[in-house]
Amino acid sequence: MTALHTMLAGALLLLLIALPSLAWRPAASFRKVYGATMAVSLVLLAVASASLAGGIAQTLVLPMGLVGTGVHLRLDALSSFFLIVVNLGGAITSLYALGYGAHETRQRRVLPFFPSFLAAMNLVVLADDAYSFLVAWEMMSLTSWALVISSREKETPRAGLVYFVMASFSAIMLLFAFGILAGSAGGYAFDTIRAHPISAWWMGAIVLTLVLLGAGSKAGLFPLHVWLPLAHPTAPSHVSALMSGVMTKVAIYGAIRILFDLAAPAIAWWWAAPVLAVAGITALMGVLYALMQHDLKRLLAYHTVENIGIIFIGLGLALAFRASGMTAAAAVALTAALLHVLNHSLFKSLLFLGAGAVLHATGERDIDHLGGLIHKMPLTAFFFLAGSAAISALPPLNGFVSEWLTFQSILVSPQLDQASLKFLIPVIGITLALAAALAATCFVKAFGVTFLGHARSDAAREARETDRFSLTAMALLALACLVIGLVPDITTHLLQPAIHLLTGGTLPAPGHGPAPLSLTPFANGRSSYNGMIIFIFLLLSGGLTAWAVHRFGSHAVARGDAWDCGTPGLNPRAQYTAASFSQPIRRVFGTHFFSAREEVDMPPPGDTRPASIRVRLSDPAWQIIFTPLLRLLHLVVERINLLQRLTIRRFLALVFIWVVILLMVVAAWH
Amino acid sequence: MALTGDFLMQGVQMFLVLAVAPALTGLVRKIKARLLLHKGPSILQPYRDLARLMRKDVLLAHNASWLFRVAPYVIFAAIWIAAALTPTFATGLMFNWTADLVAIVALLALARFALALAGMDIGTPFGGLGSSREMMVSALAEPAMLMIVFSTALLAGTTQLSQIAAHLASQPFVLRASMGLALIALIIVSLAENARIPVDNPSTHLELTMIHEAMVLEYSGRHLALIEAAAALKLVFYFSLITCLFFPYGIATPPMGLAAQFLGMGLWLVKMTLLAALLAVGEVSVSKMRLFRVAEFLGGALVLGLIAMVLLFVSGKM
């Protein structure tokens, strides 16, 4: 049995796990379902890892699916890498759900769809023809949609509706993209498409646009991200982790597969411009949106938008370098993008799982009602802190490595010839730097308001640490974030089969740098980074200082009241909240991007009514694009609605006229 | 032998910055006082302050968590490493390849992240106010800093600080528009990051104006000593960075003798003194800005950095 057979069998097994969960009594069966899902995911993870290291592409054709085409499956380096991301996320969220699932009140609405969601994501990555790709893609959308609407919250109906519409939109766009790629010859197997590549520049332009719309909306590119902050937070937390951490990555797989593989012969330098522009805007807008939030899970969902932007910056740079024949630089940019795919899947899952633990312990997603949880949930707090530091790109954790690589590839881009890119790329660089700094701000806010200070509500005061399964899952993810940050040269080296497949270049082999474990992106370059030594330095100098201070200075600790400016009885509600923390940023950026307005009502001295401040923000994506679009749609639908009220005779007449028109068109065609 | 030599030099550098840092802060204070016709405390006063704080017990608020107690060590360690990896008197430091300039900037971000979280740990409004303002300032200062890094890196072809310094020191002095812009941007960023006038006032304790002091209000004893030492080290780091990116002349480059190293060290001390004098003159001659003017001030640095980088992208020589 080959690796591909195992992968396929595993995916089908996941579907089978879904079936009996319908029959079992949910309360008793959730452990069986999640346990089985975790076991299968672990096997698939092992197979995918072995296959990435082995690096030989395997294919399989099944006699089903589209007539004359069949179902093609393929396991190459790229799909192996994404299968690792999918199944790693699947295994860890299943582990978490072994504990967290006990709190689920509507098991029947979650249990069947969780394993089938995972199966669908596996199948998307395995598919090697347009038909099975789209079927699996739709299955992924539908199962995750079912999971989103499983919750019973106020915004669930709206989240479900918006997600459904956007998911259909993305599938239609990809359908068209495959149509163009297949050409008039109509070969929908990816091998046929590779054998008959598109050549005209305008075909390339259309495919690029459709991919940015189709895969981009699924991944969360601005302004098509609108469904994401609605749908991701609404789902149960382990599903949120899977959707934000993994499903967006499957969308990125779709984009990479089409742009870098199927449409590769048509790649031109100007492809990079729209990709980079959209990516830069997405990164900046995502983090600014996140800063304005006080719902923990929605904040995390907006950060997914930001990180998708960062990944697409890497992809855009890789396109530019590849088109200009700079294979080494393309390899670095693509390594940065793929490493960030892996990194983001780890720390975003970690953060969503932490948010889930908080949500379960307090029943609150609004961080303005939390606070002081570091005392009640010390381990969850620690792991959430690790995730926050990782996503804020702080050394020595993993987020910094992928961002560092992106910066390194920006620094070689003056060698590109195109003047427009020379102006665009520095702007993208500054956007990326700004997004990274703002992300740190946002996570100081998220962690500080949620876990530090005093509890702002009874729910937060009475919180309890979460269960062991959840803690183990979070610990594993935090550990992975640290390890990738410590040995970046090894992790990037493991990605190289996929990088070589897509760019023809690779990073220098490990051991090339000035010392063991140094990451050197360019063989002839002189820049290097060594996370391990930085970590050791931090431990040594911090430890040495602590020892010296305690040995030669004082080591006593006394407890006292906090300084209250002479007015005793500090009220926990006087603490900084999410809104007050981000007020300076809102003043600096919000007025431009969200037309933020503050209405302050300050009663005059002597008046005892409470003062109030009301902040109004408007969402540019809805305001500029979606609301006018919906209004237009509404108008059109109202007109068409008239047709529904026709009599039978008139319907028949319409049908007749339509058939005649079609026949005339066909006749004219020939 | 060469290895031991390198190791020794890295060690010397590591403890040199630590030893010089309080004196530099004292020097700035002294010059400032003299310019205002005060006598001012001795240059050595910061050492005495640190020693006194070290000996005092720590008074912690009741609800201080472990994060509050660990943060001073993280802040101090991160800034110390950043300062130690910046060439002062000689390039070719043993560990310079571990962290390039981007990583050094990220180390400072790590320190700031820890400090801002510590500010929020006690749950007093002051701490939150300081953290929020500090992160707003840094959200603008850090990208400006990275633009400066990129500009110099594009000229030298590497982001390793030691090699940038060596490259620039070996070139004859040329006036470059990009470097001029980057220098102005770096000065603005340094003022903001070190909580100096016109962004913040290091000697104020007036609630409405403070940023940095508000975050550390709850710290006492050895914790406060570490944070003050870290602030002093940060000043040394930024001064060293300015000299090694823009005025690296006289820095010892390998292969070097002992004489060159001593010359480099002497020159470095002279440069530090000059910059301290300039900072003091600057601080007494301008007034502090309103908080939201700071955003415009730093936005200026960001744009200057961007222009510098675009110039280098387009021509490579300007």
pLDDT tens readout for residues B241-281? 999 888 888 787 777 777 888 888 899 999 999 999 999 99
Secondary structure (3-state) at A534: helix
Q: Who's near A562: CB < 8 A, 6+ residues apart?
A: A570, B61, B62, B63, B122, B123, B124, B218
- Residue A491 exposed, middle or buried by CB count within 10 Å (0-12, 13-18, 19+): buried
Interface touch A562/B62, C-beta < 8 Å: yes
Instruction: Report chain A residues whose CB lies below 8 A from the CB of B124.
Output: 562-564, 570, 575
What is the percent of chain A where pLDDT is above 90? Answer: 54
Contact at 8 Å (CB) between A314 and A333? yes
Q: How many contacts, defined by CB atoms under 8 Å, are there between A and B?
A: 279
Regarding whether A604 and A509 lie in a shared domain, the answer is no
- Residue among A17, A245, A189 nearest A119 (CA): A17
Domain count across chain B? 1
What amino acid occupies position B33?
A
Q: Could you report the per-residue pLDDT of A505-519, keeping only the tens digit for each?
A: 888 887 766 677 788
What is the distance between the alpha carbons of residues B313 and B226, in angstroms, rounded to a whole number?
Answer: 41
The one-character DSSP state at A295 is B
Q: Could you report the per-residue pLDDT of A182-210, keeping only the tens digit for each?
A: 876 678 888 888 888 887 888 899 999 99
Does some domain include residue A245?
no
What tokens appear for A209 in the block?
């646009």
- Residue B79 exposed, middle or buried by CB count within 10 Å (0-12, 13-18, 19+): buried
Instruction: Report chain A residues whose CB lies below 8 A from the CB of B127.
Output: 576
Q: Residue A221: is its pLDDT beyond 80? A: yes
Distance from CA of A331 to the nearest CA of B (A): 18
The beta-carbon neighbor of B113 closest among A394, A454, A534 is A394
CA distances from B266 to A504, A649, B83, B85 (A): 51, 102, 18, 19
pLDDT of residue A570: 76
Contact at 8 Å (CB) between A182 and A205? no
Distance from CA of A292 to the nearest CA of B (A): 13
Interface touch B109/A394, C-beta < 8 Å: yes
**Per-residue H/E/C for A106-132:** CHHHHCCHHHHHHHHHHHHHHECEHHH
pLDDT of residue A566: 78
Confidence of residue A172 (pLDDT cuts 50, 70, 90): very high
The beta-carbon neighbor of A558 closest among B57, B135, B154 is B57
- Residue A142 exposed, middle or buried by CB count within 10 Å (0-12, 13-18, 19+): middle
Distance from CA of B70 to the nearest CA of A (A): 9
Regarding whether A507 and A587 lie in a shared domain, the answer is no
Distance from CA of A229 to the nearest CA of B (A): 23
Does some domain include residue A383?
yes
Q: Residue A439: is its pLDDT beyond 60? A: yes
What is the distance between the alpha carbons of residues B263 and B250, in angstroms, rounded to a whole number?
Answer: 7
- Residue among A334, A402, A403, A333 nearest A78 (CA): A334
Q: Residue A415: is its pLDDT beyond 90? A: no
Domain count across chain A? 3
Strand segments (E) across A435-566? 557-560
What is the distance between the alpha carbons of residues A626 and A590, in angstroms, rounded to a whole number?
Answer: 20
Interface touch B150/A407, C-beta < 8 Å: yes
Q: Is the peptide bond before B198 cis (omega within 30 degrees of 0)?
A: yes
Instruction: Give the nearest chain A residue to B60 (CA atoms).
Output: A559
Q: Residue A139: is its pLDDT beyond 70? A: yes
Interface touch A437/B142, C-beta < 8 Å: yes
- Candidates A317, A428, A557: best to mutate against B (most CBs of B within 10 A) is A557
Q: Residue A251: is its pLDDT beyond 80? A: yes
Regarding whether A653 and A590 lie in a shared domain, the answer is no
Regarding whether A487 and A463 lie in a shared domain, the answer is yes
What is the distance between the alpha carbons of residues B272 and B86, in angstroms, rounded to a whole number?
Answer: 14
- Tell me the residue range of the domain where A596 lies: 582-616
Q: Residue B50: is its pLDDT beyond 70? A: yes
Query: First vs last Cα of chain A: how many Å apart?
Result: 51
CA distances from A211 to A127, A193, A199, A219, A258 (A): 17, 16, 17, 11, 8
Does some domain include residue A494?
yes
pLDDT of residue A660: 95
Neighbours of A639 (CB within 10 A): 8
Instruction: Report chain A residues whose CB lies below 8 A from the CB of B314.
Output: 419, 422-423
pLDDT of residue A406: 94
Interface touch A562/B218, C-beta < 8 Å: yes
Regarding whether A306 and A282 lie in a shared domain, the answer is yes
- Measured in residues, chain A has a length of 670
Q: What is the rounded average pLDDT of the residues B161-165?
A: 83
Regarding whether A512 and A611 lie in a shared domain, the answer is no
What is the distance between the alpha carbons of residues B90 and A3, in angstroms, rounded to a whole number?
Answer: 55
The one-character DSSP state at A561 is P
The residue from A539, A565, A600 where one domain ends is: A539
pLDDT of residue A513: 66
What is the percent of chain B where pLDDT is above 70? Answer: 94
Does some domain include residue A23?
no
Confidence of residue A435 (pLDDT cuts 50, 70, 90): very high
Mean pLDDT of chain B: 87
Instruction: Give the nearest chain A residue to B99 (CA atoms).
Output: A529
The angle subtended at Cα B147 by Cα B143 and Cα B150, nearest 5°, is 135
The beta-carbon neighbor of A559 closest among B60, B225, B313 is B60
- Residue among A369, A382, A389, A330 nearest A522 (CA): A330
Interface touch A440/B135, C-beta < 8 Å: yes
Mean pLDDT of chain A: 89
The beta-carbon neighbor of A441 closest among B63, B78, B135 is B135
Q: Residue A117: is its pLDDT beyond 90? A: yes
pLDDT of residue A82: 95
What is the distance between the alpha carbons of residues B255 and B14, in angstroms, rounded to a whole number?
Answer: 20
What tokens appear for B318 in the block?
């300007």
The beta-carbon neighbor of A542 closest among B77, B100, B120 is B77
What is the distance between the alpha carbons of residues B29 and A279, in angstroms, rounded to a whole number?
Answer: 47
Q: Residue A67: is its pLDDT beyond 60? A: yes
Contact at 8 Å (CB) between B191 and B242? no
Instruction: Give the nearest chain A residue to B207 (CA atoms).
Output: A565
What tokens appear for B246 in the block?
């823009």
Does some domain include residue A263?
no
Interface touch A584/B291, C-beta < 8 Å: yes
Does some domain include residue A293?
yes
Q: What is the rounded average pLDDT of the residues B25-36?
A: 93
Interface touch B143/A434, C-beta < 8 Å: yes
Regarding whether A626 and A611 lie in a shared domain, the answer is no
Distance from CA of B260 to the nearest CA of A (A): 25
The beta-carbon neighbor of A430 closest among B110, B217, B306 is B306
Instruction: Report chain A residues whose CB lies below 8 A from the CB of B62.
Output: 559-562
Interface touch A587/B292, C-beta < 8 Å: yes
Instruction: Give the nearest chain B residue to A415 (CA atoms).
Output: B313
Regarding whether A317 and A399 lie in a shared domain, the answer is yes
Weakest-pLDDT range from A131-145, A504-518, B64-78, B171-185: A504-518
Confidence of residue B123 (pLDDT cuts 50, 70, 90): confident
Residue position matching structure tokens 């669930």: A156
- Candidates B86, B222, B317: best to mutate against A (most CBs of A within 10 A) is B222
The beta-carbon neighbor of B136 closest among A374, A528, A585 is A585
More confident residue, A571 or A96: A96
Interface touch B127/A557, C-beta < 8 Å: no
Which ipTM score applies to this complex?
0.94
Instruction: Report chain B residues whose CB lies below 8 A from the CB of A549.
Output: 54, 222, 225-226
More confident residue, B158 or A178: A178
Strand segments (E) across B103-235? none
Indicate the pairing of strand A597-601 with strand A557-560.
Answer: unpaired
Weakest-pLDDT range from A176-180, A255-259, A572-576: A572-576
- Residue among A536, A542, A270, A591 nearest A419 (CA): A270
What amino acid occupies position B202?
P
Interface touch A559/B295, C-beta < 8 Å: no
Q: Residue B174: is its pLDDT beyond 90? A: no
The beta-carbon neighbor of A562 closest among B97, B122, B309 is B122
The angle subtended at Cα B104 by Cα B103 and Cα B110, nearest 5°, is 85
Instruction: Report chain A residues whose CB lies below 8 A from the CB of B113.
Output: 389, 392, 394, 440, 443-444
Distance from CA of A349 to the nearest CA of B (A): 21
- Candidates A416, A534, A582: best to mutate against B (most CBs of B within 10 A) is A534
- Candidates A375, A385, A405, A411: best to mutate against B (most CBs of B within 10 A) is A411
User: Which residues is A560 bridged to in the sheet?
Assistant: B61
More confident residue, B92 or A616: A616
Does some domain include residue A452?
yes
Q: Could you report the per-residue pLDDT of A25-40, keeping only the tens digit for each?
A: 666 678 888 999 999 9
Does some domain include residue A278?
yes
Q: What is the rounded average pLDDT of the residues A100-122?
A: 86
The residue from A474, A506, A539 where one domain ends is: A539
Contact at 8 Å (CB) between B204 and B213? yes
The angle subtended at Cα A436 by Cα A431 and Cα A440, nearest 5°, is 145
Interface touch B77/A537, C-beta < 8 Å: yes
Interface touch B98/A404, C-beta < 8 Å: no
Question: b/e per residue, A180-203, with b = 16+ CB within 10 A?
Answer: bbbeeeebbbbebbeeeebeeeeb
- Residue among A440, A435, A345, A347 nearest A386 (CA): A347
- Tell me the residue range of the domain where B299 lies: 2-314
What is the distance between the alpha carbons of residues A572 and A643, in angstroms, rounded to a whole number?
Answer: 61
Instruction: Report chain B residues whose CB lies below 8 A from the CB of A558.
Output: 57-60
Q: Who's near A355: CB < 8 A, 6+ residues apart?
A: A237, A240, A296, A297, A300, A365, A384
Interface touch B102/A585, C-beta < 8 Å: no
Regarding whether A346 and A313 lie in a shared domain, the answer is yes
The beta-carbon neighbor of A530 closest among B97, B109, B122 is B97
